[in-house]
Amino acid sequence: MIKNIYPDKDFSEVSNLGNPINKIVVSRGNTFSQLMIVGEAPGAKEDELGEPFVGRSGKLLDQLLQNAGFDISLDVYFCNVVKCRPPKNRRPTKTEIRENLPWLYQQIKLVNPKIIILVGATALEAILKNKSPISILRGKWINWDGRLVMPVFHPAYLLRNQSNEEGTPMSLTKSDFLKIKEKFNTLK
């Protein structure tokens, strides 16, 4: 069970399919990286291991980054908008997002990346306060708080749409990561 840092809330009944939330999942990767990946919230594997993007989606994300030429241990810092797995692995609520945003903003301030990749619609809405479909904004650079931000499809979505044909979500995401790597190389 996580320590209750909110004295006015009782988390004793919060569970994930019968299992108590027991991890606050903060980050993995290089805290000095110029590239930050921001996702939605921890899943089951992330809750178990205490690190973001380590389940099936995370493995695909790592593969996409490596195929674009990134060194996962040196070039990338991974985190999520919400730091604890939502019950039943549901999408985080607006309240959960609002309560976790100060933590995320502090991470951004401390890591101080030049590039932030927003993985999926929840990260897009939380950071950019934009409800446009990710299919419209993905692959486009956006200036946010003096940083370059790019939304991309979530790897969980890509796992459900694995075709590599031109114009498919997978092929578009691969080209997005090449564009990110190109911009990243100009920072060195």
* String of DSSP letters for 33-86: -SEEEEES---HHHHHHTSSS-SHHHHHHHHHHHHTT--HHHHEEEEESSSSPP
Residue 125 inside a domain? The answer is yes
CA angle 97, 98, 100 (to 5 degrees): 65
Asked whether residue 130 is assigned to any structural domain, the reply reads yes
pLDDT of the residue at 20:
54
- In this prediction, residue 22 carries a pLDDT of 59
> In whole angstroms, what is the distance from residue 132 CA to residue 134 CA?
6
Domain residue limits at 24: 15-185
Give domain status of residue 4, yes or no: no
20 lies in some domain: yes
State residue 1's pLDDT score.
Answer: 33
Q: Which residues contact 157 (CB under 8 A, 6 or more apart)?
A: 120, 169
Number of domains present in the structure of the chain: 1
Q: What is the pLDDT of residues 118-165, one digit of tens each?
A: 999 999 999 999 999 999 999 999 999 999 999 999 999 999 998 999
Report if residue 112 sits inside a domain: yes
Confidence at residue 89, expressed as pLDDT on a 0 to 100 scale? 83
Q: Is residue 1 in a domain?
A: no
CB 1 within 8 A of CB 16: no
63: in domain: yes
Q: What is the CATH number of the domain that holds 87?
A: 3.40.470.10
> Residue 84: exposed, middle, or buried by beta-carbon count in 10 A (0-12, 13-18, 19+)?
buried
Residue 176 is assigned to a structural domain of this protein: yes
Question: Tens place of pLDDT for every residue, the chain, 188 residues?
Answer: 334 444 454 444 444 444 455 589 999 999 999 999 999 999 989 999 999 999 999 999 999 999 999 999 999 999 999 999 998 889 999 999 999 999 999 999 999 999 999 999 999 999 999 999 999 999 999 999 999 999 999 999 999 998 999 999 999 999 999 999 999 999 96
